[in-house]
């Protein structure tokens, strides 16, 4: 079981950058690419949240190894439809792998995961909190390094695009809070202020209009 979980983790670690590379090659327009990455991120996080729940339900009624079969239908569908629908791309001018970025990513992720697990198991202690803080510091250094590299390991600029933010708001991940407005004691002035504010603000646009 431990070996199977290790293989699943390795497969997931290689699948995530591969899908991001496909998105970068299939969507050349920056707005479309940002929207596609936003959709990918929402699906990725939704799967991470729903997967344990589905696995728990399956363990109630089926053999414990059935949880490892959840991804088989999706992978079979990918093997059948992938060669026909997904373009093949080989970058002849691919950048070199930045080993410092790899080390920084591990230094950021591992302490945070360790700290969160220890906090959930034993409560608040100095060591898990220090590990999380250290991971956040290394994560900040990692992001700054990615912004400065010509060929970053992770293109963090895409996550700041407007299309990606629109997709997050549409899926409920990035709510847009209303602007504060002054409260008037006069009903007539309140209606006038509301009308002026409505006329001055642009009409709502669907996040999918970026496509």
How many C-beta neighbours within 10 Å does residue 122 have? 10
List CB contacts of 3: < 8 A, sequence separation 6 or more: none
- Answer yes or no: is 196 within a domain: no
pLDDT tens track for 103-153: 999 999 999 999 999 999 888 889 999 999 999 999 999 999 988 888 787
161 Cβ contact list (under 8 Å, min separation 6)? 30, 31, 33, 34
Q: What is the pLDDT of residue 175?
A: 44
Taking residues 160-170, what's their average pLDDT? 53
Please say if the pLDDT value at position 165 is more than 60. no
Is the domain of 65 the same as that of 169?
yes
Residue given tokens 């969160």 in the structure block = 116
Q: Are 122 and 138 found together in one domain?
A: yes
Residues 20 and 70 in one domain: yes
Same domain, residue pair 73 and 24: yes
81 lies in the same domain as 109: no
139: which 2 tokens?
A: 């994560």
Residues 11-26: what's their mean pLDDT?
80
Provide the residue range defining the domain that includes 169: 1-92+162-173
With respect to residue 180, please indicate whether it lies within any of the assigned structural domains: no
Residues 114 and 139 both lie in one domain:
yes
Q: Is the pLDDT of residue 7 over 70?
A: yes
pLDDT value at residue 19: 83
From CA 113, how far away is CA 111, in angstroms rounded?
Answer: 6
Q: Are residues 72 and 167 located together in one domain of the fold?
A: yes
19 and 78 housed in the same domain:
yes
Give the alpha-carbon dihedral of 150, 26, 209, 152, to 10 degrees: -20
pLDDT tens per residue, range 58-103: 888 888 777 778 778 888 988 898 888 887 777 677 667 788 888 9
């Amino acid at each position: 079981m431990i070996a199977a979980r290790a293989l699943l983790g390795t497969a997931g670690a290689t699948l995530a950058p591969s899908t991001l590379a496909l998105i970068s090659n299939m969507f050349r327009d920056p707005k479309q690419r940002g929207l596609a990455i936003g959709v990918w991120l929402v699906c990725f996080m939704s799967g991470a949240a729903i997967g344990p729940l589905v696995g728990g339900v399956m363990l109630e009624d089926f053999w414990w190894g059935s949880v490892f079969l959840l991804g088989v239908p999706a992978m079979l569908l990918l093997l059948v439809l992938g060669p026909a629908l997904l373009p093949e791309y080989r970058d002849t001018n691919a950048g070199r792998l930045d080993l410092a970025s790899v080390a920084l990513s591990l230094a950021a992720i591992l302490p945070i995961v360790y700290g969160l697990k220890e906090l959930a198991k034993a409560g608040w202690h100095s060591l898990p909190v220090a590990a999380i803080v250290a991971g956040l510091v290394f994560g900040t250094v990692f992001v700054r390094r990615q912004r400065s590299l010509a060929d970053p390991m992770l293109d963090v600029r895409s996550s700041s695009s407007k299309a990606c933010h629109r997709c997050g708001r549409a899926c409920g991940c990035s709510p847009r809070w209303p602007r504060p407005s002054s409260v008037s004691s006069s009903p007539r002035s309140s209606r006038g202020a509301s009308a002026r504010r409505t006329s001055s603000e642009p009409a709502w646009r669907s996040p999918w209009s970026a496509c």
